[in-house]
Amino acid sequence: MKVLVKGAGVAGLTAAFELAARGATVTVAEIRYGLGGNASWFAGGMLAPWCERESAEQLVLDLGRDAADWWDTVTPGQATRAGTLVVAAPRDAGELDRFASRTSGHRRVDEDEIALLEPDLAGRFRRGLLFPDEAHLDPRQAMAALHDKLAAMGVEFRFGADAQHISGFDRQIDCTGMAAEDCGLRGVRGEMLILRMPDISLSRPVRLLHPRLPLYVVPRTDHRFMVGATMIESQSTGPVTARSMMELLGAAYALHPAFSEAGIIETGAGVRPAFSDNLPRVEARGTTVAINGLYRHGFLLAPAMARQAADLAFNQDETKEVA
Amino acid sequence: MFDLLGTKLPSRLLLGTAQYPSPAILADAVEASGTSVVTVSLRREMAGGRAGEKFWSLIRALGTRILPNTAGCHSVKEAVTTAKMARDVFDTTWIKLEVIGNHDTLQPDVFGLVEAARILCEDGFSVFPYTTDDLVVAERLLEAGCKVLMPWCAPIGSALGPVNIMALRSMRGHFPGVPLIVDAGLGRPSHAATVMELGFDAVLLNTAVAKAADPVSMARAFGKAVEAGREAFSSGMLEPRDVAVPSTPTIGRAVFS
């Protein structure tokens, strides 16, 4: 079976893997000239279904709990399984209780344990929550690793290619996100920064709870930190606004004042494709299977969506909606 | 029916549309609450012209009246610009006017508020000013042309409930003919019932529903509380007494002691 995957974001790449692994001959067409620039590129890369359950539906936890295993198996070494630390400033301690009551898979940690987990945060927070089973990855490195793996499996990549003009495939997998022709989709803008701060090391993503501006800091290699992400009901891909930048920097500063000396090495804004229930969908229409609406859960839910899409592509005789 | 500036509304609960887990849950919450007016902010979504259009069309599809707000505006100019944009986007002259004076407490800048209210009223807007419980500021807002007032009962999102009952009572007493909508600070349905029992015309809330574990059920609970509070107010409640008053007469009964 010859399959054309449209879009080389995390949905397209994971779908390409699931299809190629089951024996399909896969071509990935991406309108951009490389792996960058899409929503996945600006993602936090947290594989944190238990934390996300605070505001997401149970389905996100059900579909996302095996994501770290998938990334470990397919791209060994990309996922770091060190959990997530959730903290709040003393005056927002109520937020921590609220977060704990809405989630599972965590345990309380006190000041001493926080210092053991993250020595650079010693003395800064009295209490927190540790979600030990969560993981994180660097989205850009993970996408590059997945791309290389796919290339080695014989998947053909066509960058800078408009999939409209490519034909001769038995199945098409539409993973074009916001570019898909789906009137039910909306964009939720997310803005992020990457800071570089040699004086600080973190081993795991740290979420800083705040009544209005909950933000997170995800460690990347080389003392780089991704700070994210705003959630704005807007399709705008324009540059990070000053206000959002101040909020993101304020969160980093609240986590550790040493971040005030960090270099801002990148700012970015992506638009998350979302349906009105903020849940992803895999749909079959004719010979096309569409994966969309991954919202803020691209790296977390793409593996499960890819498996569903591959199932549909391989026995596509009816139109149905999954998840 | 609640007559709000000539519009007959079946519900006295106004609901904000921010911070819900998803637009689908928002839509269910709106339906469960029975609300007939939702508020929506434009400030941040405006970035890049009408980039928030998709979300706004979901709001229009709720089928309620829309009260756009100027949340996040810190100056008169910003608030006036946002109000005009809102008039175009939602085709309404209603505007909930917020001019924030303190980023941390989200306390209104009452001086800027009065100025922006005057400008917008002169421009034909029906201004719903988010204000404190200060009577003098309320007078100034009415002078500026406002026909309705929206005092806080506690800081936005604080869930504290009415922290100064005396001030709320006195506001109600001073402005018997002005629609007064308690906006901001409500945390629980009992808070909403309390201010409705004081005779406020309606309540507006957002976080208490949006951030509840089950926003849809909480919306329903608030809808009932607002209705209960209003009905109690209209029914003539007993004033508290210092002595016990038995509900059945004791005179004429046998005394065994």
Q: Give residue limits of the domains in chain B.
A: 2-235
**DSSP-H helix ranges across chain A:** 10-21, 49-52, 58-64, 67-74, 93-102, 111-117, 139-152, 242-255, 298-314
Can you tell me the distance from the alpha carbon of A227 to that of A206, in angstroms, rounded to the nearest whole number?
Answer: 10
- Residues of chain A contacting B157 with CB distance shorter than 8 Å: 211-212
Is the Cβ of A212 closer than 8 Å to some Cβ of chain B? yes
Q: What is the pLDDT of residue A91?
A: 83
Model confidence at B257, pLDDT cuts 50, 70, 90, reads low
Asked if A150 and A20 count as a contact pair (C-beta separation under 8 A), the reply is yes
- The predicted-structure confidence for A5-45, as pLDDT tens digits, reads as follows 999 999 999 999 999 999 999 999 999 999 988 889 999 99
How many structural domains compose chain A? 2
Is the Cβ of B77 closer than 8 Å to some Cβ of chain A? no
Same domain assignment for residues A223 and A103:
yes
- In 3D, which of A60, A3, A8, A323 has the Cα closest to residue A177? A8
Q: Which two tokens stand for residue A47?
A: 């594989």
Q: Is B207 annotated as a binding residue?
A: yes
- Residues of chain A contacting B22 with CB distance shorter than 8 Å: 57, 274, 276-279
Can you tell me the distance from the alpha carbon of B242 to that of A67, in angstroms, rounded to the nearest whole number?
Answer: 64
Q: Is B102 annotated as a binding residue?
A: no
Same domain assignment for residues A119 and A190:
yes
Distance from CA of B174 to the nearest CA of A (A): 34
Stretch 250-309 of chain A: residues touching chain B, C-beta under 8 Å? 274-279
Model confidence at A159, pLDDT cuts 50, 70, 90, reads very high
Mean of the pLDDT values across residues A317-323?
49
Cα separations in angstroms, B84 against A228, A295, B28, B211 = 31, 31, 29, 30
Distance from CA of B24 to the nearest CA of A (A): 5
Same domain assignment for residues A192 and A224:
yes
- Residues of chain B contacting A211 with CB distance shorter than 8 Å: 157
Same domain assignment for residues A266 and A202:
yes
Q: What is the pLDDT of residue B45?
A: 65
Does residue A52 form part of some domain? no
Superfamily of domain B2-235: Aldolase class I (3.20.20.70)
The beta-carbon neighbor of A276 closest among B23, B51, B213 is: B23
Asked if A91 and A212 count as a contact pair (C-beta separation under 8 A), the reply is no
Does residue A172 form part of some domain? yes
Domain extent, residue A36, equals 2-46+138-183+276-322
Q: What is the pLDDT of residue A282?
A: 95
Last residue of a domain, one of A234, A252, A274: A274
Is the Cβ of B48 closer than 8 Å to some Cβ of chain A? yes
Cα separations in angstroms, A98 against A95, A136, A209, B31, B69 = 5, 24, 10, 25, 28
Same domain assignment for residues A300 and A232:
no
Distance from CA of B158 to the nearest CA of A (A): 9
Does residue A69 form part of some domain? no
Strands (E) across chain B are located at 2-4, 7-9, 13-16, 37-41, 65-69, 94-97, 126-131, 150-151, 181-183, 202-205
Same domain assignment for residues A285 and A262:
no
Q: Is B184 annotated as a binding residue?
A: yes
Is the Cβ of A60 closer than 8 Å to some Cβ of chain B? no
Burial tier of A179 (Cβ tally within 10 Å: 0-12, 13-18, 19+): middle
The beta-carbon neighbor of B44 closest among A56, A232, A277 is: A232
Q: What is the pLDDT of residue A46?
A: 96
Is the Cβ of A56 closer than 8 Å to some Cβ of chain B? yes
User: Residue A203's domain is classified under what CATH number?
Assistant: 3.30.9.10
Is the Cβ of A245 closer than 8 Å to some Cβ of chain B? no
Residue B106 has pLDDT above 50, yes or no: yes
Q: Is B138 annotated as a binding residue?
A: no
Same domain assignment for residues A195 and A260:
yes
Q: Which residues of B are catalytic?
A: 96
Q: Is B132 annotated as a binding residue?
A: no
- The predicted-structure confidence for A273-319, as pLDDT tens digits, reads as follows 999 999 999 999 889 999 999 999 999 999 999 999 999 999 875 44
Which is it for strands B202-205 and B181-183: parallel, antiparallel or unpaired?
A: parallel
User: Residue A152's domain is classified under what CATH number?
Assistant: 3.50.50.60
- Residues of chain A contacting B105 with CB distance shorter than 8 Å: none
Distance from CA of B214 to the nearest CA of A (A): 10
Does residue A51 form part of some domain? no
Mean of the pLDDT values across residues A65-77?
96
Q: What is the pTM of this model?
A: 0.86
ipTM score over 0.85, yes or no: no
Same domain assignment for residues A122 and A29:
no
Is the Cβ of B154 closer than 8 Å to some Cβ of chain A? no
Segment holding B190, helix H or strand E:
helix B189-197
Residue A93 has pLDDT above 50, yes or no: yes
Asked if B202 and B4 count as a contact pair (C-beta separation under 8 A), the reply is yes
For residue A65, give the 3-state DSSP assignment: coil
- In 3D, which of B21, B119, B20, B138 has the Cα closest to residue B79? B119
Q: What is the pLDDT of residue B216?
A: 97
Lowest mean pLDDT among A77-86, A245-254, B189-198: A245-254
Residue B47 has pLDDT above 60, yes or no: no
Q: Which two tokens stand for residue B89?
A: 């986007």
Q: What is the pLDDT of residue B105?
A: 81
